[in-house]
Structure 1
């Protein structure tokens, strides 16, 4: 009698590991696991009601992405947020996006931004208001600019850079005024590209990214303060 797993059986642990990874990442992004927190695989496995195997696979994946680190003889730790490093990564991002705009101009691919203009150059009553949806549209906007430059390797590097910033960047759309500013600034950048004024588009792009960088730092620090206060005094709202 043969003893082997069917294809559907084989998918179960893979799906469980992927689900555990996504849930853990959500905990990190929403500061349910705070920067500097120590934890063990057993604690996570018990809370998520899974075995240690998918937890370990998820943690190694998050370690490769820079979100957690191993503490010898102690377990795991959420890596502290390093805003100096984030600033350095933002600078790399700006260089990649500015370079892509220059390439777009040289290759006469200005027409490739048509889909982006339909999304962002619209009246206020047609704008998306859901924070998560705007975040995803924003990701598509910046990835679309880079893709329009026509260099797949620059796009790949840019994708990796954006992944490293995602833990703080997604917070930029939690305030309505930031959503409005994003629409207006994206539209202004696209208008300059459409008119062939690439230098001005690059200037606006750098200003746009810098403004977002400063805003997400403020929001992140505020959310961390609230999360730590909640952790220390969980019943304060009932008092």
Structure 2
């Protein structure tokens, strides 16, 4: 288990410390410093991070509620084993919500663009010289693109459910942007989807959106398997 300790400021409030530990542990899981199946105790985390067990426990239970960890009351904590079937189901829910959002947007009467769509147009329908190249930044923009499509329908419950699904798949979805060509492809594909929506071409917009998500899903599965294999090899290597 390779953890990075969060920097603690003088007289930091307990709730702020718990938040810092939560964010650091979550980042350790996302970056595969904590591997699926890794087991550890509250005491080990507290010792490595030089903090008391109370904020550690708060952070761990929050991660457990969000599905990243499993707790075993007699043997500590475990990073939830990677379950691609679980992620497949989340992607299916995401596709259903987004396709319905596209249908509703395409059926709207012509007029002013909903604010989220106008924001997306300014972000994605730009000259190549104006495109971001940083994978992490584009990953965040990509998630906002899909969330804003659903938000543009005006249905707050749809948007809330979609945001929850997006949070759960972020751990693998962001890996799509570790490959340079996928950044360029994302700009092109988002532009095509937006163009079809703005022109009220529902069937085309839905087809483009489904293909875009399916290609991304296949890519992140391949990258995840490779990264897990590499991370396990590093963790198993003898120390020099």
TM-score by length of 1: 0.91
SS at 2:34's partner residue? coil
Q: Distance in 2 between matches of 1:137 and 1:146?
A: 15
Larger deviation, residues 176-185 vs 109-118: 109-118
SS at 1:27's partner residue? helix
Matching residue of 1:16: 17
Distance 1:234 1:196, change over 3 A: farther
Matching of residue 167 in structure 1 with residue 167 in structure 2: no
What is the number of equivalent residue pairs in this alignment? Answer: 228
Matching of residue 60 in structure 1 with residue 64 in structure 2: no
Q: Distance in 1 between matches of 2:196 and 2:77?
A: 48
Matching residue of 1:80: 81
Distance 1:48 1:110, change over 3 A: farther
Matches within 5 A, 1:122-133: 122-133=126-137
Matches within 5 A, 1:1-239: 12-108=13-109, 111-112=113-114, 113-233=117-237
Larger deviation, residues 106-115 vs 59-68: 106-115
Query: Tell me, which stretches of 5 or more residues in structure 1 are unaligned?
Result: 1-8
Distance 1:173 1:81, change over 3 A: same
Asked if structure 1 preserves the Cα contact closer than 8 Å seen for 2:125 and 2:191, the reply is yes
The CA RMSD measured in Å over matched residues stands at 1.7
Query: Tell me, which stretches of 5 or more residues in structure 2 are unaligned?
Result: 1-9
TM-superposed CA distance for 1:137, in Å, is 0.6
Runs of 4+ residues deviating >4 angstroms: none
